Structure 1
């Protein structure tokens, strides 16, 4: 059964124990923005209801299993292991059971790629992105690729490389372009 707790405005933590793993998911959202972070740990099945304790600006989570007691710290959108002695039992409360785990929540759809930008005009000024150029009156500024006749070579193995390559196709060395 999944559990959850409200950590603050727009931020919740969800815990689930599908099989031998514990799945911790932090979810935060506000108007027009959503963020999610998950961690999966092999703990074995829980033997007690998970607990949460608020400490400072974060929280501690605690799960008890047949294999032992596990404690994690939440700070912002970060989840990390915490030492067992960090647990503050006098501030602990059981987490609330929920029917809706994050596994049944709909994922956010990926953003669609942007359409290529048309040249922009402002009065007698024109800017375009590919190739990057700016024209104003009779003056033109731009960035162009070096001429194709300029041969370049890998500094690691000496193999010929093309302008714009990030890695050598022969040895895999990361290239630094000017």
Structure 2
């Protein structure tokens, strides 16, 4: 079951009962913004349509169900009450029945990510080439004297650029040899 009522020119309430859950949504709409506050309660199925009263600035909602629910609505706040307060001068706010909203279909599980290739960059081992610069992040150790051994190397711990022949990072002290 679903019901709707306009509380003020800019505020409305929507009540939805699905299975054992009751969802109450207050929505404030103005020309430049919209705010919504929702609360969910386990009530069981409703025994009668909900009743809504206005008493001055406060609005009281009563839902008759296996677990009766009485709420105080003020502004964007939704607060449960222990019992129905005296409402001698309260006006009943008419609720309009709405079609039950369709349940959301279940989400499809995500597929595992495929290995990525972006331009000259590949993963596993990660390597990147731009012009005459090359960066590799793998366990391969270039042989001494090869162009790769003379290329700029970086600390695997902090990323600081190392000098050729350094055995420890000058910034953090991490060992640069494998």
Unpaired runs of at least 5, structure 1:
105-178
Alignment-derived partner of residue 160 in structure 2: none
Alignment-derived partner of residue 153 in structure 2: none
Q: TM-score, normalised by structure 2?
A: 0.52
- Check whether the contact 2:70–2:84 (CA below 8 A) recurs between aligned residues: no
Shift of 1:99: 2.7
- Check whether the contact 2:71–2:79 (CA below 8 A) recurs between aligned residues: yes
Alignment-derived partner of residue 96 in structure 1: 96
Alignment-derived partner of residue 136 in structure 1: none
Q: TM-score, normalised by structure 1?
A: 0.52
Q: Secondary structure at the match of 1:48?
A: coil
- Check whether the contact 1:14–1:102 (CA below 8 A) recurs between aligned residues: no
Deviations 1:26-49 (A, max 9, x none): 011111200000000001000100
Alignment-derived partner of residue 56 in structure 2: 56
Alignment-derived partner of residue 86 in structure 1: 85
- Rounded Cα–Cα distance in structure 2 between residues aligned with 1:102 and 1:51: 24
- Bigger Rg, structure 1 or 2: 2
Change (3 A) 1:34 1:25: same
- Check whether the contact 2:16–2:100 (CA below 8 A) recurs between aligned residues: no
Shift of 1:87: 5.5
Unpaired runs of at least 5, structure 2:
105-178
Q: Are 2:74 and 1:75 aligned?
A: yes
Q: Are 2:53 and 1:18 aligned?
A: no
Q: Secondary structure at the match of 1:5?
A: strand
